[in-house]
Chain A
Amino acid sequence: MREILFVLLSFLIFPGFLFTAVVGLLAGWVDRKVTARIQWRVGPPWYQNFVDFFKLMGKETILPSGAQKISFLLSPLIGLIGITLTSFILWEMNLYPVRSFIGDLIVILCLSIFPSLALIIGGSASGNLFASLGVSRETKLMLAYELPFVIAVFTPIVAIRDIRIGSVLTYQMNNGMMFTHHLSSFIALIVAFFCMQAKLAFVPFDIPEAEQEIMGGPLIEYSGPPLAMFKLTKAMMLFALPVLLITVFGGGMRFDGIQALFSIVKYLIILILIILVKNTNPRLRIDQALRFFWLRMFPLAIVGFIMALIGI
């Protein structure tokens, strides 16, 4: 009984939902603040994202008349659960590498697709023209970035010939960070970084949501708590996905002594890089994005993979 309660608590509070949500919203604030400073603006106070979230929670939920009500309302939950589980498993592995099981990375990769799927389901269910355009773009983009992402994330696994995240972490604990240690992992990290930018739907890959073209795409009909959940999902992704990259390529998040500070610095560096890429590029067209992932990132990922196979 106590075991179940403990698992439930760790899923809901630490390192599961609450922890990821709070840090994610704070990361969202860092994004807004740094973006604002880059653009000669002042930027919001640190609690702005929390206020926005609670405000949306208190707003009315409007159901469009042509919508499939159940899938329209359930899809934000799917996304939220997916990203919560991703973050939860990831942190469990980071905190207790021994609990790692065979194929945990596959589980994480599958779960991390859930937010995109939720967007697709919700957008299609809303029955809006702009939403369906956004959904078609999101689907195309997913087909483009998922394959290089999976190959890139698997490159370190191939390099050390063990499929558990725990082993990758232990290996890095003994030998130093993956991407400094193996050239193949360094290439994979570059690929994974750009795929993550697309997964987060940030400029230059915010094509599905392109507020200036299709006004938010799949999110156009959402209001109130479901919209809040989508926003929260996105904020949590901003926390969980960089942590996935750090776990696989960058030595993991460790909290023993000076390593704790080092972990936070690693996360902040990746976050700032994401924000910089976001703020120094215009949005690509969907065909340009597909070309980028299929003709540039995919071959690069394959090269990294082969290098890992032959042990570079």
Chain B
Amino acid sequence: MSQNRKTIIPIGPYHPLQEEPEFFELSVEGEKVSDIDIHIGYNHRAIEQIAQRMTWDQLIFLVERICGICSTSHPIANCNAQEDLAGVEIPERAKYIRSIVGELERIHSHLLWAGLAGHFIGYDTLWMWIWKYREPVLEIFEKITGNRNHYAMMKPGGVRRDIKEEDIPYLKKVLDEAERKIDMITKAVLDDPVLAARLKGVGVLTKEDAIKYCTTGPVARASGVAIDVRRDDPYAAYGLVEWNVITQEEGDVFAKTVVRLLECFESIKIIRQCLEKLKKVKGEIAVKIKEMPPGEGKGRHEAPRGETFHYVRSDGSNNPVRVKVRAPTYVNLPTCKATVPGESIADAAIILASIDPCYCCTDRMMRVVNKKSGKIELDGSKLIKLSQEKTGRLRREFGI
């Protein structure tokens, strides 16, 4: 045993709090974390592989299921990619509806994160209150899409459902109520001295590091990097309404909290304007895409966690040849290499959570190679074979 052997504190492979499969290896000296190693890939579902066997329409339903929380971000990004490929422009009314759904999701996702952040630092009351106040947003979703989650609103060329004229007053009323409550909770969070003591100056991500690690979304904006796909490369209705990009300079966990909470108000602002525009702009909510020409398409969307990027390639047939997804957590997660070392174990949990990680979006598949023989023991095709064998077994069992 060497003198400077380090103690390893494992967080995972099943996170005790986030209840998602990932594995952080914290090397600690006493209470202080000296190094961190990240392992992901416990929850790979071969979405990109499955996508190649879907039709273009089915693809949207598949990518919607990449993540349960940002479940409209992937469809919007994918629709953008498909429309880019097909070269169509969606109707104006569809643009507003897309933005409304996207922004509602941002509010619900940011509130969800803020609640969980409270839970991570032992403030369960904050958690319960915020989640209670997130409820009106989900009610709006149920009203306009029929579902509290997995809204299935997007389709290539537009949206699937229209927002009815008679629903708009109700939506505005619930939105006002939600805004009042979010306002109250934001003030409570920003003025709490104990919360400030716990979060300020913790896990600082400097502007240089934020750029170096290619961060996106609130993580970058909390470090003073003002990037936002909605402003930089407007799609949907984001170029047609007034709103601001929220930034903070500190880069600590508190700044990330502030950015997320203040973004909720910007989202409400966008939704209000879109609802007003919906009253005036009538017409179709989708254009029909007759066929997909051979070629490539790229689509981006500012998900609650940052930029979601989708790439599709077509050979002119009924289904895509290649679909590539890059979720925001994939670039945000490595920043903990810069933020966690030097902090205590108590802070590590909240710093790791502060990027609002979504491991399901992020998981990547690697080949498992036997070191001795050099034989590939597991890769995509073998996993598919395993899956097919299981399906066959189930079919025999149930006699289908």
Residues of chain A at the chain B interface (Cβ within 8 Å): 35, 38-41, 129-130, 133, 136-137, 203-204, 206-207, 210-215, 279-288
Contact = CB atoms under 8 A, between A and B. Distances in A.
Most buried by B among A39, A206, A214, A279: A39
A279 B124 contact: yes
Nearest to A287: B344
Contact of B345 (A203, A214, A280, A283): A214
B198 A284 contact: yes
A201 to B, nearest CB: 11
A204 to B, nearest CB: 7
Interface of B: 7, 9, 16-17, 30-31, 118-129, 132, 192, 194-195, 197-198, 344-349
B119 A288 contact: no
A182 to B, nearest CB: 30
Nearest to A36: B128
Contact of A281 (B120, B194, B345, B347): B194
Contact of A40 (B31, B118, B121, B129): B129
Contact of B31 (A39, A133, A204, A215): A133
A150 to B, nearest CB: 26
Given A136-B31, A204-B194, 17 more contacts: A35-B124, A39-B125, A130-B9, A133-B9, A203-B122, A204-B122, A206-B122, A210-B122, A213-B346, A214-B345, A279-B124, A280-B125, A283-B121, A283-B122, A283-B346, A285-B344, A287-B344
A176 to B, nearest CB: 34
Contacts of B121: 212, 282-283
B346 A282 contact: no
Contact of B122 (A35, A212, A286): A212
A204 B195 CA distance: 11
A283 B132 contact: no
Nearest to A205: B122
Given A280-B125, A281-B123, A212 B349 contact: yes
Given A215-B16, A284-B194, A286-B344, A40 B128 contact: yes
A207 B192 CA distance: 19
A215 B125 CA distance: 19
A155 to B, nearest CB: 27
B125 A284 contact: no
Contacts of B345: 133, 213-214
Contacts of A204: 122, 194
A282 B118 contact: yes
A168 B16 CA distance: 48
Contacts of A210: 122, 346
A107 to B, nearest CB: 34
B16 A285 contact: no
A279 B124 CA distance: 7
A35 B197 CA distance: 24
Contact of B119 (A35, A212, A280, A287): A212
Contact of B123 (A207, A282, A287): A282
Contacts of B349: 212-213
A162 B175 CA distance: 64
Contacts of B125: 35, 38-39, 279-280
Most buried by A among B122, B126, B349: B122
Contacts of A214: 345
B198 to A, nearest CB: 5
B345 to A, nearest CB: 6
Given A203-B122, A282-B123, A283-B121, A39 B129 contact: yes
A214 B126 CA distance: 21
A206 B16 CA distance: 17
Nearest to B121: A282
Nearest to A140: B31
Contacts of A212: 16-17, 119-122, 349
